[in-house]
Amino acid sequence: MQISTALRTESLAAARMNARRWVMGAVFVTASIGMIASGHALAGAATVPAAAQVLAPATEPVAPASPIPPATSAESVPAFVPEREVPTRAVIRTSPIPKPAITVLAQPLLVATAAPTSTATPASAPLQLAQAAPAAPDTAGAGNQRGAPAGFTAPDEPKPDETNAQRAKTQPLNNAPFWRGVQQSGEKAGVTNLPGPELGVLVQRFVQYPGSNFTTAGEAWRQVRNQWILPYGGALVAITLLALAMFYWSKGSIGGHEPDTGRKIERFTPLERAAHWTNAIAFVVLGVSGLVMSFGKFILMPVIGHTLFGWLTYLLKNAHNFAGPLFAVSLVIVFITFIKDNFPSKDDLTWMLRAGGLFGGAEVPSHRFNAGEKIVFWGGVFGLGVIVVASGLVLDKLVPGLEYLRGDFQIAQMVHGVATLLMVAMFLGHIYMGTIGMKGAYSAMRSGYVDEAWAKEHHALWYADIKAGKIPAHRSTAGVPTIGPAVGSAR
């Protein structure tokens, strides 16, 4: 009960206090309105032809003006201000002016009139006497004058071709020319004190690559890579792997129909095998690292996490850069070494029309390399190989004389990506046939020798040339069993 009584007492006291505040506020507002109205009335009453400008203190009353005697013209009307002593202020004296003018200050109760000259006593230092020029008639009434101050000059309108410094004068805080220069720096490079090409280009020029919109070069490259190269190239590799898996499931390893004879024929010399294995190992490193860098974030990163994927990609990126030149050199050696047995012949057309006998019974006779291997050689090793190596050397910055601008790298990367994905798809078939797709093919490249039966079954024309003595059975080593007198005499 005591707590409730105390709360009620406090509430009544707060209500009384609020009421007092509202009453005092109303009184203050009423007094202010009255003072403003009195100021305007005094301003109208003080309209005289001329007078000295006086700023009267708000605490001192302003004396009413006496009637002005009639005059013949406006120029001869003397300015009139009642003479009185202003303690510690100034003694005001009258003087004629050419044309009367009246100016009322915006402050209430302070009336100012214009006069060309005035004289004050030394005791008037605290009071500043202001001189105003004649003002034009104000048809809307005193106190409503509007306009720019004297000496003000409006700035020029902003123009589209202005520099950023010019825009700072015509339209401050609007630095559109600066950002326009950034956007168009691909067409007109900016100014920079850093050495090197293209450092003044912040946004590349607008281009349109095949498959992209007309946009900046960087965005066009991103559209081609993400919307065309990666999805369609990944689909090509996946379809190739699926087709090989289905073929192996349906056919298995081909060959092995002829029993081994125990007599060996040298199919690859040590130099040929060294060049092939060097190129093959470099290709596997490049292929695996390139596939991980291109598709790993979609397949591996969700499984192994960002950290491990980052370290793996960093390692493979460096391995890719070092294996690239090795692949280029070994590819040249492979091309020179195997070119003499990969020239097309009329028998290759028959092999292609029958697809090498893959979908039939017996294999189609061929020379040392059949038409399929020749397609891989000319299309993969030579054609795509030259494109992949050239674009890779640009990406590795190993080609002298190039400026290596961003556009150069973007074009080289797109060309490199398309060519490598085609090469990977083609070489997957070659790797399949050289390992599990054909019996005895892997041992031929590992040891360099094949059995006489294998040569007769898979490369009948090559076997016939060896049997006829046109080709030596052993090109680098003596003492290996041959396939007959004709071969022995040829040696």
Measure the CA–CA gap between 408 and 284, rounded to whole angstroms.
26
CA angle (159, 161, 162) in 5-degree steps: 70
Measure the CA–CA gap between 381 and 364, rounded to whole angstroms.
24
pLDDT at 477: 66
pLDDT at 296: 94
Mean pLDDT, residues 108-137: 43
Contact 265, 448 (CB under 8 A): no
pLDDT greater than 70 at residue 377? yes
- Which superfamily, per CATH, for 215-490? Transmembrane di-heme cytochromes, Chain C (1.20.950.20)
The pLDDT tens digits for 19-56 are 777 777 777 777 667 666 555 544 444 444 443 343 44
Strand blocks (E) in 225-303? 264-266
Residue with tokens 């004190």: 193
> For residue 416, what pLDDT band results from cuts at 50, 70 and 90?
very high
Residue 250 parent element (H or E): helix 230-251
> For residue 218, what pLDDT band results from cuts at 50, 70 and 90?
very high
pLDDT at 92: 43
Residue 239 or residue 107, greater confidence: 239
pLDDT at 39: 54
Mean pLDDT, residues 403-408: 91
> For residue 490, what pLDDT band results from cuts at 50, 70 and 90?
very low
pLDDT at 140: 47
> For residue 451, what pLDDT band results from cuts at 50, 70 and 90?
very high
Q: What are the contacts of 193-197 at 24+ separation with CB within 8 A?
A: 197/403, 197/404, 197/405
**DSSP state letters, 101-145:** -EEE-SSTT-EEE--S-----GGGTTSPPP--------TT-TT--
pLDDT at 161: 79
Which one, of 343, 332, 402, lies nearest residue 368 by Cα?
343
pLDDT at 25: 75
Paired residues of 254 in beta bridges: 438
Measure the CA–CA gap between 482 and 473, rounded to whole angstroms.
7
pLDDT at 82: 46
Taken in order 44, 49, 53, 54, is the CA torsion positive or negative?
negative
The pLDDT tens digits for 380-400 are 999 999 999 999 999 999 999
Indicate the range of 83-87, 189-193, 229-233, 450-454 predicted with least confidence.
Answer: 83-87
Residue 200 or residue 117, greater confidence: 200
Taking the whole predicted model, whether its pTM rises above 0.85 is answered as: no
Mean pLDDT, residues 116-128: 44
Indicate the range of 137-151, 170-184, 186-200 predicted with least confidence.
Answer: 137-151
Measure the CA–CA gap between 294 and 281, rounded to whole angstroms.
20
pLDDT at 445: 94
Mean pLDDT, residues 306-333: 95
Burial 154-193 (b: 16+ CB within 10 A, else e): eeeeeeeebeeeebeeebeeeeebeeebeebbbeeeeeee
Measure the CA–CA gap between 105 and 204, rounded to whole angstroms.
60
> For residue 197, what pLDDT band results from cuts at 50, 70 and 90?
confident
Instruction: Give domain limits for the chain.
Output: 2-124, 164-203, 215-490
